[in-house]
Amino acid sequence: MGFLLKHKLTIFGIIVGLIGGYLYYYFVGCASGTCAITSKPLNSTLYGGLMGGLFVNIFKK
């Protein structure tokens, strides 16, 4: 439980990023299927989670 409280901001960023990544795949996606990140929902979702976690960590001390 201590881990979750210590890293709650990062976990929040990851969750928001996961949702954002999937929404990007769903609404924008890749028409040809050759895009590395947005051709599959799993790739887009994981990339969004990674970017969300990294973005939120910018604001940590």
pLDDT in tens, the chain (61 residues): 899 899 999 999 999 999 999 999 999 988 887 898 888 999 999 999 999 999 999 988 7
Inter-residue contact 13 to 55 (CB < 8 Å) = yes
17 domain residue, yes or no: no
The whole-number pLDDT of residue 13 equals: 97
For the entire predicted model, the pTM comes to 0.87
53 domain residue, yes or no: yes
The whole-number pLDDT of residue 26 equals: 94
Three-state SS at 51 = helix
Helical residues (DSSP H) of the chain, grouped into ranges: 2-6, 8-27, 41-57
50 domain residue, yes or no: yes
22 domain residue, yes or no: no
The DSSP output letter for 33 is S
Domain extent for 36: 31-61
56 domain residue, yes or no: yes
Q: What is the number of domains present in the chain? A: 1
The whole-number pLDDT of residue 47 equals: 97
- Please state, in angstroms and rounded to a whole number, the distance separating the CA atoms of residues 4 and 41: 27
- Please state, in angstroms and rounded to a whole number, the distance separating the CA atoms of residues 34 and 56: 30
